[in-house]
């Protein structure tokens, strides 16, 4: 059947529009949960409809002979095995299409990797206790998390690439999504080597508590740093922000109107743009709801 020229032009126009919109396709908001008992449950967090990713924070002790330990700040007590009740919440989130990741590290954790073999042992522990493997002592119960978020803010930058490679290797059995939360000064002191593996699906950059590259009344430094971060080998790069001024004592909060009218329009044209990451659920009292239509 011959194709009418007008129909062909319409088709080309539609394809062009689709290609132009591709950068924002699937964009969403990632949130950290688990560091304040008053922030609500995990199930309630996912039920807001505001988030596409939830990072359960933190596995704060691991590696270098240290016993792996989870700290969820009063939500439950891992040593008493009361966090297994989170399994139903995790499954509830996943049932809504939300990816739930285990965040490892944090700003005040007791973690380090001493060798490539140590990294492999940590990866095996995470796989068996939180992901698709098997263990008799799964801290969060039988729910299978979607992946691991590297929030590495201490120690050296060594062997995190080995951890990423080993975790990624498990994807042959069940997909393991990898995320990283570097500081905005480029490149990140702790995660640069890991990110350079090209194995990370999501890199949510912390544009807060970092005066050289955060928003400070104007977005020039932030946008300059953003342009550097979009050069990394990762599927998507996210703008990491505090959900309220109190969430970042050293600054970086961007008022809703500034974010939606100035910053997001400037960064959404990047093919790597994935959305916004917020720290954290405790401080998110309306911010995600106000920005989600613009993300």
pLDDT for the residue numbered 21: 38
Active site residue 153: yes
pLDDT at 193 over 60: yes
**pTM for this entry:** 0.91
DSSP per-residue letters across 167-207: HHHGGGTS--EEEE--BSSSS-TTTHHHHTTS-EEEEEEE-
pLDDT at 17 over 50: no
Return the closest-CA partner of residue 181 out of 165, 203, 162: 203
Q: What class is the 25-291 domain?
A: alpha beta
Which tens digits make up the pLDDT trace of 78-97? 999 999 999 999 999 999 99
Catalytic residue (choose from 39, 77, 153, 175):
153
The region of weakest confidence among 21-25, 116-120, 134-138, 204-208 is 21-25
Average pLDDT value for residue range 186-207: 98
- For 202, phi then psi, to 5°, come to -130, 130
What sign has the CA pseudo-torsion 184, 185, 189, 195? Answer: positive
pLDDT for the residue numbered 109: 85
pLDDT for the residue numbered 4: 54
What sign has the CA pseudo-torsion 80, 86, 88, 94? Answer: negative
pLDDT at 13 over 70: no
pLDDT for the residue numbered 55: 99
Which tens digits make up the pLDDT trace of 95-136? 999 999 999 999 988 999 999 999 999 999 999 999 999 999
């Amino acid at each position: 059947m011959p194709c009418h020229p007008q129909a062909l032009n319409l088709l080309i126009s539609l394809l062009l529009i689709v290609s132009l919109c591709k950068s924002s396709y699937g964009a969403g908001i990632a949130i950290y949960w688990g560091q304040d008992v008053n922030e609500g449950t995990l199930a309630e967090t996912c039920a807001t409809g505001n988030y596409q990713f939830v990072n359960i924070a933190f596995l704060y002790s691991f590696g270098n002979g240290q016993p792996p330990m989870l700290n969820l700040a009063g939500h439950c007590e891992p040593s008493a095995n009361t966090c297994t009740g989170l399994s139903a919440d995790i499954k509830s989130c996943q049932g809504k299409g939300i990816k739930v990741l285990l965040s490892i590290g944090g700003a005040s954790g007791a973690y380090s990797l001493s060798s490539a073999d140590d990294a492999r042992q940590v990866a095996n522990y995470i796989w068996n206790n939180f992901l698709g493997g098997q263990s008799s002592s799964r801290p969060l119960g039988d729910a299978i998390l979607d992946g691991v978020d590297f929030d590495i803010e201490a120690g050296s930058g060594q062997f995190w690439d080995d951890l990423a490679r080993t975790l990624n290797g498990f994807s042959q059995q069940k997909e393991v999504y990898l995320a990283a939360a570097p500081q905005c000064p480029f490149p990140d002191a702790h995660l640069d080597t890991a990110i350079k593996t090209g194995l990370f699906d999501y890199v949510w950059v912390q544009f807060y508590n970092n005066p050289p590259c955060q928003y400070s009344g104007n977005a020039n430094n932030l946008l300059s740093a953003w342009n550097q971060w979009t050069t990394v080998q990762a599927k998507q790069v996210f703008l990491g922000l505090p959900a309220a001024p109190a969430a970042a004592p050293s600054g970086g909060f961007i008022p809703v109107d500034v974010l939606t009218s100035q910053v997001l329009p400037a960064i959404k044209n990047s093919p790597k743009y994935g959305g916004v990451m917020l720290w954290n659920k405790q401080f998110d009292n309306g911010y995600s709801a106000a920005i989600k239509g613009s993300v």
